[in-house]
Structure 1
Amino acid sequence: MNTDPVDQARRLAHDRFPDALAVLLAGSTAAGRATAGSDLDIAVLIEDGGETHRETIRFEGRVVELFVHTRAGLVELFAVDVAARRAVLLSMYAAGIVLVDTDGEAGRARALAEANLRKGPPALEPETVETRRYGLTDALDDLTDAADRIERLAVAGVVLDAAADLLCDHHHAWIGRGKWLPRRLLEADAERGAALLEGHLHLCESGDPVRMIDAASEILDLVGGPLREGYRRTWPGVVEPAAAAAAPGR
């Protein structure tokens, strides 16, 4: 049996989705970063009337992540990607290897994905940036003061996420989670992103937080600087309904 991942993906598309409008192989395999244990990320476009869903299967011994969408479902999920500022499905269609393209459907989906990627994610609202500045300021204070090594590592993760999010927003760039966080961060700002990542690595290896604090503080300065006293946020209508729901007789 041929175990080449691209050939495996083609066989799966033929066997499982013979009527698909488009099938694309994405992820690490399409990007040339696959290892022997890499799974296959496969996007499948089907006719409206079918079921938009995600499913994990095993095919010829390899784990496969299926992202199946109708035309309407694909448009909706592209919009979800944009709103979340994460270009997961958009990137799959923009950069995936086309395995099936019925009447140009893959090309049209790719063009739509590329247009969204060029436009970029929506900017965070000023109030949201303020709240995240406050959160990063607080986390940096905790990181500076943390004496316990385990607590320091936990807080460093919060600092990494918060600083990366603010830096990507500053550059109108897509964000990422997991292994995509460093990739998106370096795409957004190679110099400051690398300083933050290397500071985090140095902290994890040595316990010394100074380099990470310096890198995150520089990012914080880009978006208005530290925020402590003067920060105030209200949530109208949230506490009252919750209290009413908990009242006796409810």
Structure 2
Amino acid sequence: MDMDPVDQARRLADGLFPDALAVILAGSTAAGRATSSSDLDIAVLVADGGETYRETIRFEGRLVELFVHTRAGRDELFAADVASRRGVLQSMYAAGRVLVDVDGEAGRARELAEASLREGPPALDPRTVETKRYGLTDALDDLADAGDRVERLAVASVVLGVAAELLLDHHRAWTGGGKWLPRRLRAADAGRGGALLEGHLHLCESGDPAPMLAAAGEILDLVGGPLREGYRRTWHTPATPPQHA
């Protein structure tokens, strides 16, 4: 009989972090979608003076991803997640299941996380958007011309990633990796994001790039359109520090 993952998470918290200020169970287990092979994603807030680290362990046969941090470490990780535009730890606190809450620490952390998520990631620098427009224009040209199936799939992955980033930035929406990318896309723009994902799936299954070309082209138009001639970027070489004898 499979062990209940929530009960496992509680035993882990009691056994490994008896002095924790807050313990949050996140991911598929907290959402009620866990399977027998699902891992446990657990955020642990410890007292000042403790360590901030991420560690993967196995507990009672189940894989566990631990996100352990002090208050200061939590704030630094929040800032790093904003910079990466992913909001990983914020999402864990905002949507996770509270297992331990000493003196309201979990509730205060959740309020901080929800405020950060509402604010959204910072907008990409206009020069970065321009560079991504140029890259997507080039990738779409390659996708339309690709005759080799392996090359077409490789280019399609580039188109998916850049078009997704531009669309999410247009909406000031959080991005994600792996399974979180389609989730973020559908949440931010079900129409355009969904069309991009379906176009990519159609290409992978049939080899036909037309729907993906159309979907990514619409996103490109949304952020300023194709960019070819006229694109220019200047690199500045850092000054060489003086050499001392």
User: Number of matched residues?
Assistant: 242
Instruction: State the Cα distance separating 1:32 from its structure 2 match.
Output: 2.0
Q: Is residue 219 of structure 1 aligned with residue 219 of structure 2?
A: yes
Aligned residue number for residue 111 of structure 1: 111
Instruction: State the Cα distance separating 1:2 from its structure 2 match.
Output: 7.0
Write the distance in 2 (CA, Å) between the matches of 1:141 and 1:2: 51
Aligned residue number for residue 202 of structure 1: 202
Write the distance in 1 (CA, Å) between the matches of 2:2 and 2:45: 25
Write the distance in 1 (CA, Å) between the matches of 2:189 and 2:221: 15
Aligned residue number for residue 54 of structure 1: 54
Comparing 30-39 with 91-100, greater Cα deviation is found at 30-39
Instruction: State the Cα distance separating 1:66 from its structure 2 match.
Output: 0.3
Three-state SS of the structure 1 residue aligned to 2:42 is: strand
C-alpha change, 1:214 and 1:234, in structure 2 (3 Å) is same
Write the distance in 1 (CA, Å) between the matches of 2:125 and 2:49: 37
Write the distance in 2 (CA, Å) between the matches of 1:207 and 1:29: 36
Q: Deviations over 1:40-62 (max 9, x none)?
A: 00000001111100000000000
Instruction: State the Cα distance separating 1:237 from its structure 2 match.
Output: 1.3
TM-score, scaled relative to structure 2: 0.96
CA RMSD of aligned residues (A): 1.5
State whether residues 55 and 66 of structure 1, in contact with CA within 8 Å, keep that contact through their aligned partners in structure 2.
yes
Instruction: State the Cα distance separating 1:35 from its structure 2 match.
Output: 1.6
Amino acid at match of 2:59: F
Q: Is residue 9 of structure 1 aligned with residue 9 of structure 2?
A: yes
Write the distance in 2 (CA, Å) between the matches of 1:52 and 1:233: 39
Aligned residue number for residue 243 of structure 2: none
TM-score, scaled relative to structure 1: 0.94
Write the distance in 2 (CA, Å) between the matches of 1:2 and 1:184: 31
State whether residues 2 and 36 of structure 2, in contact with CA within 8 Å, keep that contact through their aligned partners in structure 1.
no
Comparing 30-39 with 4-13, greater Cα deviation is found at 30-39
Amino acid at match of 1:170: H
State whether residues 186 and 193 of structure 2, in contact with CA within 8 Å, keep that contact through their aligned partners in structure 1.
yes
Instruction: State the Cα distance separating 1:31 from its structure 2 match.
Output: 1.6
Q: Is residue 156 of structure 1 aligned with residue 156 of structure 2?
A: yes
Write the distance in 2 (CA, Å) between the matches of 1:2 and 1:211: 43
State whether residues 2 and 8 of structure 1, in contact with CA within 8 Å, keep that contact through their aligned partners in structure 2.
no
Q: Deviations over 1:126-148 (max 9, x none)?
A: 11100110011111111111110
Aligned residue number for residue 128 of structure 1: 128
Amino acid at match of 1:190: A
Amino acid at match of 1:62: R
Write the distance in 1 (CA, Å) between the matches of 2:151 and 2:35: 33
Q: Deviations over 1:164-197 (max 9, x none)?
A: 0000000111011110000000011001111000
Three-state SS of the structure 2 residue aligned to 1:103 is: coil
Aligned residue number for residue 228 of structure 1: 228
Write the distance in 2 (CA, Å) between the matches of 1:148 and 1:34: 39
In structure 1, runs of 5+ residues without a counterpart are 242-250
Q: Is residue 86 of structure 1 aligned with residue 107 of structure 2?
A: no
Write the distance in 1 (CA, Å) between the matches of 2:10 and 2:143: 49
